[in-house]
Each structure stands twice: as C-alpha cells, then as structure tokens.
Structure 1
C-alpha cells in the first residue's frame, strides 16, 4: 500500500533491491554520511553557497526535504534550513552519540542520515536544520525532481 505525504509524495520505503541499487550510486563520502551517520567537513559542502530557487532532496531516494525559501546562512559551515519541505518528509531521531543528546534528522522515506536539528534557528520556527551537502541534491525550480525510484512525484516548485 502506498503511503502519501500531505504534499502528495510517496513515502513508501525502497524495497531491498531498490535500496541496493540506490546505494550502489553513492560515492564513498556520500555513503559514509547517508548510511553510516558521518559528517562532512564544515565549510566544504557543495551546496553551502547555493542561492538559486529550487528544492533540496534526499541524495539517496530523491524525496524533497527542503525548499530554497527556508535556507539561511547560519555561519556553522553546513547548509541550514528553518523548516522542511513537508513535516512528514523529515524524521527526527534522538541521537546520544559522542556523549551529547541531539536530534538527528533522517529522510522519512529511505531513513538516510541528513544531519541534525537544533532549537537556535530564526523565526518563525526557531529551528536550524543543519544538513550535510552530500546528503542532498539540488533541483532548480521548474526542472523535474530526480526520480530514482520511478515514482514520478513531480517538478520542483
């Protein structure tokens, strides 16, 4: 049965065969971050200075995670957003690694690691989704969203 988000995207997780196919497309750095909860070095990510209109989607499965309108300069060295594309597209998981308590953010469809969310962002949410560039792929407004699962969810808006 297909599970749709309020914005109309299929949230059904990839099958084991689909997941294997998707994971085979990742670089070593992408796999380290997305699959093994790694972190890219600050101020090095390719999307840090991206300012164009568009959508930031999950690098593994293509689910839209953030819109350009919610991106802001946090000074932390990673792309930061104050709200997700759709609340149901980003999953929050308690993270107690490294002797601290944080909230990890994962893609709600494929469960890949994206980054963390902190309560020190700008209004109106006061949240800062601190996301690894390698966890994301940018699609300019008006272009079709990547569809690695063949689910044809739509065009970047």
Structure 2
C-alpha cells in the first residue's frame, strides 16, 4: 500500500512529517509526497510536475494532507486533497485549529487539530489508517 503525504508547514517543523512517515511505514505503507517548483524551475516543468503529482495521488491507497498556520502552500495541499477525493482515494486533511482556511468543519476526512494537544487527532488518524488497511481502495496538517 502507498500513502501520499502532502504538507504545508514551517521548515522548522519538518520533523512532524518525518514522524508521520515513520508511523505509516510501520503500518506497511510506502510513502510518496508532492513535488514543488520552489527552486525556480522553468515554467514548462510546472505542468510535468503537476501531472506526476496527480498520478501519484491517484495511485495511492491513502492521502494525508497537513495544513498549518505557518504553511506557505496550504492552497496546494487543499487542491491535492480535492484530487484525492475526486478520484475516490481515501483522504484525510489535518488542519491546525489556528490556520486561516475556508472549509466546512463537516467535510469527510477533515481533522482539525491543536498542535499543543495532538492526541485526539492522532487517535482519529489511527482509526482512518486502520480502516484504510481493511479496504482495497483508500493524507497530516501541522
């Protein structure tokens, strides 16, 4: 099984993504992540990068997106979450409770979390991961 992890967090918090990936690997998931155009690649590469990213999302067993208050790419994470849902990939979107993000709190797979008390979000993630392992078809925001 493969999990696609999309995230928008402050560079100093990348350890959270490393920990998430480690936990997913322990549960038998291979990990892939989004590509970005942060290094000034020519615009002609943007379409190629996006196409590769979409292909990876669609071929995943699970999508986990992570959106934080300090993340600079929150819109990309949301867009990738929408791609996963549109292609019936089981998808979670973790959104920090202080992030300015316009989305309905009743969206399926949406988990609002408090970075100072992450236990409830962790329980919810574990539940969804367990469910995804039971499914033949089946995203962490800091």
Question: For the superposition of Structure 1 and Structure 2, which TM-score range results when normalised by the shorter chain?
Answer: under 0.3
Normalising by structure 1, report the TM-score. Answer: 0.24
Normalising by structure 2, report the TM-score. Answer: 0.26
